[in-house]
Amino acid sequence: MRKYLRSIRALVRGQISDWVHSPRTVIMILIIIILAYINGKSFEKTLADYSLTSHAGDALYIYLSRAFGNLLMISAYFLIMMSEIPRRIPAQLSMLMRTTRLKWLHAQILFCALIPLLMIGMLSLLSMALTFPYLTPGSGWSMMSSDPGVLYMPEFIPEFIRAISPLQANLLALAMLFAFWFTMVLVILLFSLAGKPNVGLIIYVSILMLALTLTWESFPPWLRAVIPTNYATLANISALFPGQELSTVPIVLLIYAAVDALLIGGMILIVKRMDMQFTRKDMAV
Amino acid sequence: MRKELKRAFTSPMFFLSALVFFLTLQGYALPVYLDNLAHEPLKFRESALTLSLGGIFFGGAILLQPFCSPTAHAVSQVDDLRSGIMRWSVLRSSVGSYVTRKALASFWAAAAAIGGAFAVHVIVWNLLALPYDPIAYPNHEVPFREDTLFFAWAPLAHALPIYLHIMLGLAFSAGVWSITALASAVWVPDKLLAVTIPACVYQLWSGGLSYYLFGVRLISPATLFNDGQTMDRVGEALLAYGVLLSLSLIVYYAGIKRRACYA
């Protein structure tokens, strides 16, 4: 087991090291950080405009449940950052020679799980660092206006979420966002392994762009219910299933788990049979 | 120049760019039209003007325009660099003439793809739906603000001046985004990044980065083809796009010169 973990760790480290040196990764991370900065500043302004008292748990929930204010664009840029997995580098062949195909696949899947987690962690830290000076010490839910003159304000923390603790709510919001991004990355990995690296990318770009361009209000509700982006964040789920939000979340997470298991199963079958070759795709001349 | 233009306008990427933008515009028009067709009598259906502009005002066409613009021709810069043809082209002419040729071809290709897609979209919806006529169909009335250009132009020729203005606005801004893509492609020769970087710049510009960093609010990058236009706002937007165009050309020129000297 120790030997297995050591080799997986070495493989993942190799992947990450190559990934962070890719121009796509560097540029897209920078853009995503700036988008999170804009969202953080805009949230600061909201807190000031409505004279809101916000605890750390409330602020983090608002960031996580709304995918840092820009689900579609951040997901699209994240997709571009992850567009080349497995990394097409000759080192992959050396890695394969020193390990087994299955271990190599495990490392790829672990890499796919680690990156969305790191991404969410980094964006949460950045957003919370920006909001920190405006937070009120305390636990439990807040987001109440301290100004009696404020007659209306948007519902930042919906009623159904106030029924659970901020920690539970944040974990749920984190799980939803992670599940969406992890599944997205797995789909790209599956198609890359199957020798069609652009298909996964095209599928997800289309999903994100359709969500952006189509006027969903004109479509029947059942059609809206099959759009993956509606299951990307807790805020989207609550908009789609009003009145049954908390009961829907576990079902959605289970469906994500089943889909991910199927994708991983497909990858195992492919990897056992595939002829592995890696030619560089995003190399800068 | 002629060869570059021929290459641009016969490339499958040019047609792909126009097709994707055309489909993006249908994101609002098609579902609303089908919904109207099923539930509303003719006189209460949305006019061709609303269906034509809905994709821009309410849909995602605005966000996808900077993605589609570089696809028309600017991404070919990456092929020029990878195949090595750029160096030979520069050797046979000069850095300045190569930059001019490439920039003009990319500008015109993006402008034609995006502007052309919008023109076809407008023609299709004017054929399918009732042209804008608020006198015969009061339901068509669009409440443009009184101090805007569109308020004065709406009653003229079924709103033809509005269509022309938006088409030109889309085409011009698409051209500028394609030059931004050239500037990014020459420094980072990656097609995906060449398409994405203009969209990122657009996103940061419209998201108000300058306001949060320096307290300066810039005019929206969508001003040239969005609602609420006045002569002053159009002038400001042209100035902002002019600055972006100049900066992009400088960065592009510097990139080509560097590659020609040291590649």
Alpha-carbon distance of B152 to B148, in angstroms, equals 7
Is pTM, for the whole model, over 0.90?
Answer: no
Q: Using a CB-CB distance cutoff of 8 angstroms, which residues of chain B are in contact with residue A36?
A: none
Please tell me the predicted confidence (pLDDT) of residue B263: 62
Q: Could you tell me the residue range of the domain that residue B244 belongs to?
A: 2-262
Please tell me the predicted confidence (pLDDT) of residue A186: 94
Are the Cβ atoms of B31 and A282 closer than 8 angstroms?
A: no
Task: Find the residue in A nearest to B184 (Cα).
Answer: A27
- Closest C-alpha to A4, from A102, A93, A109, A90: A102
What dihedral angle (degrees, nearest 10) is formed by the CA atoms of B20, B179, B221, B112?
-40
In angstroms, the separation between the Cα of residue A178 and the nearest Cα of chain B is: 23
E strand or H helix at A52: strand A52-53
Alpha-carbon distance of A217 to A227, in angstroms, equals 13
B192 in contact with A, Cβ within 8 Å: yes
B214 in contact with A, Cβ within 8 Å: no
**Closest Cβ–Cβ partner in A35, A80, A284 for B196:** A80
> What average pLDDT does range B69-76 have in this prediction?
92
Whether residue A168 is predicted with pLDDT greater than 90 in this model: the reply is: yes
C-alpha pair distances (Å), A67 with each of A260, B8, B180, B194:
21, 39, 28, 25
> What are the residues whose beta carbons fall under 8 Å from the beta carbon of A131, sequence distance 6 or more?
A40, A43, A44, A47, A54, A59
Alpha-carbon distance of A153 to A226, in angstroms, equals 31
Omega prior to B155 cis, within 30 of 0: no
E strand or H helix at A118: helix A101-131
A279 in contact with B, Cβ within 8 Å: no
Q: What is the ipTM of this complex?
A: 0.86
> Model confidence over A75-100: pLDDT tens digits?
999 999 988 888 777 777 777 777 88
Pair A186, A261: CB distance under 8 Å: no
Average pLDDT, chain A: 86
Six-digit token string for B169:
């606005």
In angstroms, the separation between the Cα of residue B102 and the nearest Cα of chain A is: 19
> What average pLDDT does range B82-86 have in this prediction?
89
Question: Which sequence spans correspond to the domains of chain A?
Answer: 2-148+155-273
Instruction: Give bridge partners of residue A145 from the DSSP assignment.
Output: A52
Alpha-carbon distance of A39 to A33, in angstroms, equals 10
Whether residue B219 is predicted with pLDDT greater than 80 in this model: the reply is: yes
What's at B100, amino acid-wise?
Answer: T
Average pLDDT, chain B: 90
